[in-house]
């Protein structure tokens, strides 16, 4: 088993570059951190997609028995600290291939569409919530943080392995929904917006969440079937975007 003790090792330097969109695009792979996410990847991915597991001695002693037949490289605590994006990394990482883009997407079921959503924590939480609510998938539109961003990955808690995660131009996605006559719900506060409680629970639809500050892209807004709002009965000015998405998803998605 290979062992890397120096954070100046070339392999480690390459892995560090996976923290950026450019590095991931160039190397066509990404890095997952923590035993929870490594486990999720192991149970979801075909072995061919897993390139390498990096573990400190402690982590290998604890989990090595569940890693048989998989390529493992041991790393020092200093290397783990260098690779980790949290202040106290657990010391276990997995590198796997970027998902290939879907050629002919099929958006049956309930889909969450993210339109220029910025905050990685909110994005990851929305994917995790969509998973829990039984959504078929989440589309990351242009201008939305990447699903392979470290903070997004941590907040998703492995949900990217349970539902479909697609990066796509939302205009094309909405065209698909129009062609299939499936409703598209926006979340832009405007005079025609409808109380979300008036929408009957249903199985096939798209729900678009817009940018935290600026709301939805007007071009997309124009294509919505209805815009939904959550009545605020207190004095808060607004809801956090992940909270609003959760309240609507759990209300309008039929089991």
How far apart are the C-alpha atoms of 205 and 203, rounded to whole Å?
7
- Select the residue interacting with its own copies from 15, 31, 130, 138 (CB under 8 A): 130
| Residues of span 174-233 touching its own copies by CB under 8 A | 230-233
Given candidates 18, 72, 96, 133, which one binds its own copies under the rule CB under 8 A? 133
β-pair type (92-97, 50-56):
antiparallel
Give DSSP secondary structure letters for 121-152: HHHHHHHHHHHHTT-SEEEE-TTSPPTTSHHH
* Minimum CB distance to its own copies smaller for 23 or for 121: 121
How many residues lie near its own copies (CB under 8 A)? Answer: 33
Q: Which two tokens stand for residue 144?
A: 């939305």
| Alpha carbon distance 61, 21 (integer Å) | 33
Residue 114: closest CA among 253, 211, 20, 220: 211
Can residue 243 be called a binding residue for its own copies (CB under 8 A)? yes
Interaction of residue 119 with its own copies, rule CB under 8 A? no
> Using the rule CB under 8 A, is 134 a contact of its own copies?
yes
Sole window of 23-31, 128-136, 142-150, 173-181 interacting with its own copies (rule: CB under 8 A): 128-136
Question: Which of 34, 90, 125, 149 is close enough to bind its own copies by CB under 8 A?
Answer: 125
HSE value, Cβ hemisphere, 13 Å, CA-based, for 220: 28
CA–CA distances in Å: residue 206 to residues 19, 23, 180, 193? 30, 32, 12, 16
Q: How far is the CB of 247 from its own copies (least distance, A)?
A: 5
Region 45-74 residues binding its own copies, contact defined as CB under 8 A? none
Q: Which is nearer to its own copies, 78 or 132 (CB)?
A: 132
Query: Tell me, what DSSP letter sits at residue 211?
Result: B
User: Which residues of the chain form contacts with its own copies (CB under 8 A)?
Assistant: 121, 125, 128-135, 157, 159, 162-163, 230-240, 242-243, 246-247, 250-251, 253, 255
């Amino acid at each position: 088993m290979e062992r890397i003790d120096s954070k100046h090792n070339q392999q480690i330097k390459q892995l560090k570059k996976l923290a950026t969109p450019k590095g991931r695009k160039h190397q066509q792979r990404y890095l997952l951190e923590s035993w929870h996410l490594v486990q999720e990847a192991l149970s979801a991915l075909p072995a061919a997609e897993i390139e390498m597991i990096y573990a400190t001695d402690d982590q290998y002693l604890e989990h090595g028995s569940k890693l048989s037949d998989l390529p493992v490289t041991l790393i020092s605590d200093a290397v783990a600290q260098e690779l980790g994006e949290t202040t106290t990394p657990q010391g276990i990482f997995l590198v796997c291939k970027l998902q290939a883009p879907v050629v002919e997407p099929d958006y049956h079921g309930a889909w969450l569409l993210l339109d220029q959503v910025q905050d990685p924590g909110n994005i990851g939480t929305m994917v995790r919530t969509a998973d829990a609510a039984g959504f078929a998938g989440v589309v990351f539109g242009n201008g939305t943080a990447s699903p392979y961003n470290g903070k997004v990955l941590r907040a998703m808690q492995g949900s990217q392995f349970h539902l479909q995660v697609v990066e796509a131009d939302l205009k094309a996605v909405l065209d698909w929904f129009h062609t299939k006559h499936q409703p598209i719900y926006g979340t832009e506060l405007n005079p025609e917006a409808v109380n979300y409680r008036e929408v009957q629970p249903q199985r096939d639809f798209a729900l678009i969440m817009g940018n935290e500050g600026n709301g939805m892209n007007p071009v997309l807004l124009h294509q919505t079937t209805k815009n939904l709002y959550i009545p605020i009965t207190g004095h808060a000015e607004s809801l956090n975007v992940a909270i609003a998405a959760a309240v609507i998803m759990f209300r309008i998605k039929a089991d």
